[in-house]
Amino acid sequence: MADDINKNRKKIDKIDKAIIELLGERKRITQELISSKIENHLPVEDLQRENDIISNLQSLAKNTLTPEFVSKIYNSIFKFSKENHSDELAKTNEIFEYIKNNKVIISGPCSVESLEQIDTTASQLKELGIKFLRGGCFKPRTSPNSFQGMGEKGLEYLSTTAKKYGMYSVSEVTAAHQFDMGFDNIDIIQIGSRNAMNFELLKAVGKYTAKTQKPVILKRGFWMTIPEFLSAADYIMNEGNKSVILCLRGIRTFEQISSKFRFTPDLASIIELKGQPLPVVFDPSHSAGDAKYVVSLGEAALAMGAGGLTIETHCLPECALSDAKQCIPPSAIKPLIDKINAKS
Is residue 302 a contact point for Mn ion (CB under 5 A)?
Answer: no
Is residue 266 a contact point for Mn ion (CB under 5 A)?
Answer: no
Q: Which of 126, 131, 214, 286 binds ligand PEP (CB under 6 A)?
A: 286
Residue type, 19: I
Instruction: Tell me the C-alpha distance between 232 and 156, whole Å.
Output: 28
Is residue 193 a contact point for ligand PEP (CB under 6 A)?
Answer: yes
From 313, 283, 253, select the one nearest 191 (Cα to Cα): 283
Terminal alpha carbon distance of the chain: 76
Residue nearest to ligand PEP (CB): 192
Instruction: Tell me the C-alpha distance between 95 and 84, whole Å.
Output: 19
We find the least distance from the C-beta atom of residue 336 to Mn ion, in angstroms, to be 18
Q: Which of 249, 265, 269, 340 binds ligand PEP (CB under 6 A)?
A: 249
The stretch near ligand PEP (CB under 6 A) out of 11-19, 54-62, 153-161, 189-197 is 189-197
Residue nearest to Mn ion (CB): 110
The stretch near Mn ion (CB under 5 A) out of 48-56, 74-82, 299-307, 323-331 is 323-331
What sign has the CA pseudo-torsion 295, 277, 140, 136?
positive
Instruction: Tell me the C-alpha distance between 321 and 323, whole Å.
Output: 7
We find the least distance from the C-beta atom of residue 286 to ligand PEP, in angstroms, to be 4
We find the least distance from the C-beta atom of residue 109 to Mn ion, in angstroms, to be 8
We find the least distance from the C-beta atom of residue 145 to Mn ion, in angstroms, to be 17
Is residue 107 a contact point for ligand PEP (CB under 6 A)?
Answer: no
Whether the CB-CB separation of 200 and 232 falls below 8 Å is answered with no
Instruction: Tell me the C-alpha distance between 111 and 314, whole Å.
Output: 9
- DSSP β-bridge partners for residue 328: 313
Chain residues 14-73 in contact with Mn ion, contact rule CB under 5 A: none
Q: Which of 136, 206, 298, 317 binds ligand PEP (CB under 6 A)?
A: 136
Chain residues 20-39 in contact with ligand PEP, contact rule CB under 6 A: none
Residues 6+ away with beta carbon under 8 Å from 260:
290, 293
- DSSP β-bridge partners for residue 168: 132
Q: Which is nearer to ligand PEP, 91 or 194 (CB)?
A: 194
Q: What does DSSP say about strands 168-172 and 308-312: parallel, antiparallel, or unpaired?
A: unpaired
Q: Which of the choices Mn ion, ligand PEP, none does residue 287 contact, using the CB cut-off of 5 to 8 A by kind?
A: none
- DSSP β-bridge partners for residue 190: 172, 217
Is residue 113 a contact point for Mn ion (CB under 5 A)?
Answer: no
Q: Binding residues for ligand PEP, per CB under 6 A? A: 110, 136, 140, 192-194, 219, 249, 286
